[in-house]
Amino acid sequence: MSRSRPFKLVQIDDVRWEIPKTGGMRVPGLIFANAELLRGVQNDDSADQVYNVAHLPGIVGRSLAMPDVHSGYGFPIGGVAAFDLDEGVISPGGVGYDINCGVRLALTALDRDQVVPHIKGLVDALFAHVPTGLGSRGGIRLNRKEMAAVLTKGAAWAIEQGMGEESDLDRIENHGRITGADPGVISDRAYERGKDQLGTLGSGNHFVEIGFIEEIFDEETARQWGIFPNQVTLMIHTGSRGFGHQVCDDFLARMVKGAAKMGIELPDRQLACARLGTDLADEYLAAMSSAANFAFANRQIMMHLVRTTWEKTMKLSPRELQFRLLYDVCHNIAKFETHEVDGESRKLCVHRKGATRAFPKNHPELAPAYRITGQPVLIPGDMGRASYVLAGDPGSMKETFGSACHGAGREMSRHEALRRTKGRAIERELQDQRQVYPRAAGRKTLREEFPNAYKDVGLVVDVVQRAGLARKIARIRPIGVTKG
């Protein structure tokens, strides 16, 4: 260990490191990492945060960290924690600010060679037609009643407006709608922040990316999912925008104030939580579900904007483009799920913060198309190297409450990225060295998000596969990207 800590990190095997139960920990911690990824863990606060989460009331099994783990606030990003419904808690910090931030991947009938000659025009058109950037607005402006319908229906609301197909819902986690949403618990401030942000990408690491299938690892599953070599793909990464942030803010403030009254001792205020079954917990869950549904609708709308812009720009008919959603995953969420713990089937509240659900084949919550393969697990990397499509495997149910990683994870801070790229033209480097055409709204975004600001996603998914949480299906190489 490179710093003094109140716990030990014990190697179990090549990809597992345990924090044995010590002091006030209620359960042990478990970090999935190889030797290289562990160096990052040793140099930031993420192991301390895994340790802190292990102190929360009613935590079950282990406090978990996926191989892309890095410091968050309160919970680490890449953290998974499950709680008993009677003794446990719900924590907004365990879900994250951007509630239901997530990723969706769509496939096309196009080959790489058909798109590369048009990539600049296509990316420029997407940049112009998909609202992007700092505080991006200009999305769909709704009144309270219409917004309430979005918050209750999720992706289905967008489909009702003609943005997508009914069959898309089978290809979205939880069918694009978390039940229990209640628009009545949403604050005026959250409505105000979200009122014109539906259908907008946002800033930072959110993106719309065009890529192609560079390599297939599991031909049978790829075939079943309609994936073929050199196939052009579309990936969208965004969430619930300012709406979700305000929901998180509102309830963190209330739970910080309420934790002491409830007798919950917190090693970090950002771990503020409420006991499950209390009015405050129920209200947060209703608000969180509303924000999650906002995010599902947002990604559905974004995909519609991309599809229509793509058809128009390349003068393709829907039949020629054959744009089809492969899957949409949440990676900041808490859900009630049934898992086996010590041989007993128990309903738990599973928090995934910067982690992706990775249910294996035969899981009853999956749509029939994925019940024979396991669900798609979408892992974006950085904008210069690669992203991966994985499938959930049985190991996830044994060790991680059906979870895997969610991305590459930052290697360096934004300031550090700006320092490292001073004087460099990242836009030019991406085009000349990596054949990726980027557009970004922010002047510094491309430098802050340059490829080496992130860990190598290949190392991350390799650990996931070796741990048996999910298996590699295909690797995607980017060719064009718009960022906020």
Partner 1 sequence: MSRKTEKGWRFLDHIADIRMEASGRDLTELFLHAAEGLTELLGAGEHLAAEKEVELALEAGSAEELLVDWLREIHFANTTRGLVLARAHIQQISDTSLKARLLFAVRPPEEAPDIDIKGVTYHGLVVEKTDRRYLARVIFDI
Residues noted as catalytic:
406
Shortest Å distance, C-beta 147 to partner 1: 15
Task: Supply the DSSP symbol for 22.
Answer: -
126: Cα separation from own chain's centroid? 22
Among 410, 455, 477, 483, binds partner 1 (CB under 8 A): 410
Shortest Å distance, C-beta 465 to partner 1: 26
Among 36, 165, 340, 416, binds partner 1 (CB under 8 A): 416
Among 34, 63, 71, 400, binds partner 1 (CB under 8 A): 71
* Residue 351 in tokens: 């928090």
Among 180, 442, 458, 468, binds partner 1 (CB under 8 A): 442
Residue 25 near residue 6 (C-beta atoms within 8 A):
no
Task: With CA atoms as reference, report the closest residue to 27 among 90, 80, 74, 86.
Answer: 80
- According to DSSP, the β-strands at 77-84 and 89-90 are unpaired
Residue 94 near residue 79 (C-beta atoms within 8 A):
yes
Task: With CA atoms as reference, report the closest residue to 384 among 211, 204, 178, 157.
Answer: 211
* 21 lies in the binding site for partner 1 (CB under 8 A): no
Among 260, 341, 372, 425, binds partner 1 (CB under 8 A): 260
Pick out residues in 203-222 that bind partner 1 (CB under 8 A): 203-204
Q: Exposed (0-12), middle (13-18) or buried (19+): which is 317, by Cβ within 10 Å? A: exposed
Shortest Å distance, C-beta 20 to partner 1: 25
Q: Which residues, 6+ apart, have CB-to-CB distance to 331 below 8 Å?
A: 101, 102, 103, 352, 353, 354, 355, 356, 406, 407
* 438 lies in the binding site for partner 1 (CB under 8 A): no
Q: Contact letters (x/-) for partner 1, 39-68, by CB under 8 A?
A: -----x------------------------
Pick out residues in 356-395 that bind partner 1 (CB under 8 A): none
* 245 lies in the binding site for partner 1 (CB under 8 A): yes
> What span, in angstroms and rounded, lies between the C-alpha atoms of 198 and 139?
5
Among 412, 435, 458, 468, binds partner 1 (CB under 8 A): 412
Binding residues with partner 1: total (CB under 8 A) = 42
Shortest Å distance, C-beta 245 to partner 1: 5
> What span, in angstroms and rounded, lies between the C-alpha atoms of 30 and 48?
12
> What span, in angstroms and rounded, lies between the C-alpha atoms of 126 and 169?
24
Q: Contact letters (x/-) for partner 1, 168-197, by CB under 8 A?
A: ---------------------x--xx----
List residues binding partner 1 (CB under 8 A).
44, 70-74, 77, 93, 97-98, 134-135, 189, 192-193, 202-204, 242, 245, 248-249, 252-253, 256-257, 260, 268-270, 272, 410, 412-416, 442-445, 484
